[in-house]
Amino acid sequence: MVRILNDENNVLQLLEGPDIVLALEGNDLIQTFNGGGSLVYGNKGNDILIGQGPRDTLFGGQDNDNLSSAKGKSFLFGEKGNDILTGTNVGADFFFGGEGNDSIVGGAPQPTASPLDPILGGSGAPVSANSIYGNKGKDTLIGGGSRDTIFGGQDNDSIQAADNSSSNLLSGDKGADTITGGGAGDTILGDFDLAATASDNDSITSGIDPESVFIYGNQGNDTIILEKVTNKLITSTEANLYGGKGNDSIISLDNQGGNNRLYGDLGNDTLVAGMATDTLFGGDGNDSLDGVKGSSTKDPGTAMYGEGGNDILVGEGYQLLDGGDGNDSIFTTDGTDIVIGGAGNDTLTAGAAAYLDGGDGDDVLNGSSGGDALIGGAGNDKLYGQDGNDNLQGGAGDDLLVGQGGDDNLQGGAGNDILSGQGGSDILTGGDGADGFYYEDPSLGLDTITDFVSGTDKIFLAKNAFTNLTRTGTGNAVAFVTGEGSIGNSNEAIIRLVGNEVYYDPNAADTSNGTPLFKLSGTITGSDFVLY
């Protein structure tokens, strides 16, 4: 039966049907019959349309309407105005907000499926699910259970899946949306439209216990948060979080699951690892990757890849940090880390024993108080071992290697290198090229120079520490003698070669050899020394 109402404020309860009801103007209250299958048009006015049966179709029309479905499997269209659309705990409904700032709340899932149900992966018995579309306006959309499909549409929407639900598909579409997932298996898209604008800055948070969650921010400067794990039986969450275009912030709060992957993609992004084992990819742009809260007790722990751009990486313990292309700054605070600068002029700083590889470019590598391995790679690099027994390798290029404290092994490699062992008994190898071996103080330890080439390499002595070495008429920068015994005056200092050891003797008249500086293979003469 077709019923056409007048322009008044009508109250109609259908006792049989299914019927087609067309309201005109006025604020109408219309309730369908229990059998379902009715079609109701609210038209103008602030209408209340109640679908009492299954498979009802309700159109709010213009103005601010309230539509609800009691038994599910119904279609609810808010159309124009700020509408409220509500499902119940029975069946699955299709919601379409239309224009205006709408509020949509889906019903809870049921153990059987209907032809309206979108089934999104998973296994076992299917469940009923809601389909909710906000369209234009600043909408509030709330799911009712698992496997809901919610699209915000245009403008700035608020979307929330049901608590502890799973396998939902949530999309903000256009606008700066706030989206909260339900739990495991959710797919959350900040902008479903790949042509969305850069102003679509979304805030996306997964649900609790976010196993196998997929989140993609797309356009805009998005904030993506992976929630904590509360179920102690979950050992691996394996979530995938993508920032997309824009300057995004991606934060993992996962405290026990791990194996999550965070992708900054395009833009200057900030990625923060959780307490479990995550992998971070900065993508293109100048990114900041923080693994300090990441796993530092497992081996391997959190891994971070800056990729393109001038990135900042900070890690702690049993982690892999790879800057990739660009001029990167990488810091570790504790534990045994592997740090790779990649291409570009990088600065690598270790907080504890670490492996640092600068890669191509003019890099600066700073060791720690532990025993570090520092490799400059190609380029003119600067390597500082700090305390501990360190291994420094300059590689190709004109490098600066400074051992500092500890018994260090310094290898300049190809190029004209500068080597300074400083404290400890160090092993110094210049490699190919004209190398310089620097001594700041005669009392810092006995070094070994393995490949000194007289006439090509030089020994540089700090004249404020090595005093009174110049002797008139020698033609050399220092007074150099071979053999033991007293020679010269007490106010003269000499460099003495005894066997394969070189000494600094501040008193030439003394019979002792003085302070040992280094051992060497090959020959050395007075002309090989330079005061600076």
> In the numeric block, which tokens belong to residue 235?
């050992």
Gap between the terminal Cα atoms of the chain: 107
pLDDT digits 0-9 by tens, 348-383: 999 888 999 999 999 999 999 999 999 999 999 999
| Residues 170 and 181 sit within 8 Å (Cβ to Cβ) | yes
Please report, rounded to a whole number, the percentage of residues in the chain having pLDDT higher than 90: 58
In the three-class reduction of DSSP (H, G, I as helix; E, B as strand; rest coil), residue 527 is classed as helix
pLDDT digits 0-9 by tens, 79-106: 888 988 888 765 677 888 888 888 888 7
Which has the higher per-residue pLDDT, 459 or 6? 459
H or E element that contains 502: strand 501-505
Confidence band (pLDDT; 50, 70, 90) for 116? very low
- Per-residue pLDDT for 248 more than 90? yes
Cα separation, 243 vs 269, whole angstroms:
8
Span 288-315, mean pLDDT?
84
Please report, rounded to a whole number, the percentage of residues in the chain having pLDDT higher than 70: 91
Cα separation, 448 vs 464, whole angstroms:
23
- Per-residue pLDDT for 306 more than 90? yes
- Per-residue pLDDT for 2 more than 50? yes
- Per-residue pLDDT for 388 more than 70? yes
Write the single-letter amino acid at 485. Answer: G
- Per-residue pLDDT for 122 more than 60? no
| Residues 285 and 269 sit within 8 Å (Cβ to Cβ) | yes
**Average pLDDT value for the chain:** 88
What's the sign of the alpha-carbon dihedral 302, 303, 308, 313?
positive
pLDDT of residue 238: 94
pLDDT digits 0-9 by tens, 151-199: 888 889 999 999 999 999 999 988 999 999 999 999 999 986 555 555 6
For residue 10, the Cα-to-chain-centroid distance in whole angstroms is: 59
pLDDT of residue 213: 97
In the three-class reduction of DSSP (H, G, I as helix; E, B as strand; rest coil), residue 528 is classed as helix
| Residues 383 and 362 sit within 8 Å (Cβ to Cβ) | no
In the three-class reduction of DSSP (H, G, I as helix; E, B as strand; rest coil), residue 399 is classed as coil
Q: What is the pTM of this model?
A: 0.85
At 526, give phi and psi (nearest 5°): -60, -30
